[in-house]
Amino acid sequence: MLLGLEGSTAVSVSIAAERLEVSQHHLAKVVQALAHAGVVETVRGRGGGVRLVPDADEFTVGSIVRALEPMTLVECFDSERSRCGLQPACRLAPMLDRAVEAFLASLDAHTLGELWSRPRRLRVLLG
């Protein structure tokens, strides 16, 4: 949301951390994940920092959640870690799997652009 207000201007991680009242360390990790998802890019040198890619507002919220959050809701979603003896006959896991898909499909109906489409109050809050 903060970057959405800034348009094509890069914001340094330290200034963004201050405005969002979170630690720089945490924010650096979030920026890295968002860069990996292709929604932000980092700009080096003076006036550098992080900014949205030009078409960022067209990304769906679902695509970002998929990129940032491992959706292994239960251990057995990760076949390598699973130690549950019920797995070969379990009918709950596929239900949960479809429920996660419903969760993400709901977020796929929204774009990032919607998050900063009413910027006035956001600007006030982000000082």
CB 51 within 8 A of CB 43: yes
Percent helix, percent strand, percent coil in the chain, to nearest 5 = 55, 10, 35
* CA–CA separation, 55 and 22 (whole Å): 26
Backbone torsion region of residue 49, taken as left when φ is above 0, otherwise alpha when ψ lies between -120 and 50, otherwise beta? left
- What is the total count of residues that contact a copy of itself (CB under 8 A)? 34
Q: Does 20 sit near a copy of itself (CB under 8 A)?
A: yes
Stretch that binds a copy of itself, among 8-16, 31-39, 44-52, 96-104 (CB under 8 A): 96-104
Encoded one letter per residue, x for contact with a copy of itself by CB under 8 A and - for no contact, window 44-73 reads -----------------x------------
Cα dihedral sign, 101-107-112-113: positive
Q: How far is the CB of 99 from a copy of itself (least distance, A)?
A: 4
Q: Which is nearer to a copy of itself, 44 or 124 (CB)?
A: 124
Q: Does 106 sit near a copy of itself (CB under 8 A)?
A: yes
Which tokens in the block code for residue 91?
């009918």
Q: Does 29 sit near a copy of itself (CB under 8 A)?
A: no
CB burial readout 32-70, b (16+ within 10 A) else e: eebeebebbeebeeeeebbbbbeebbebbbbbbeeeeee
Q: Which is nearer to a copy of itself, 25 or 89 (CB)?
A: 89
| Residue in 25, 44, 46, 91 binding a copy of itself, rule: CB under 8 A | 91
Residues found near a copy of itself in the complex (CB under 8 A): 1, 20-21, 61, 83, 85-86, 88-92, 95-96, 98-107, 110, 114-115, 117-118, 121-122, 124-126
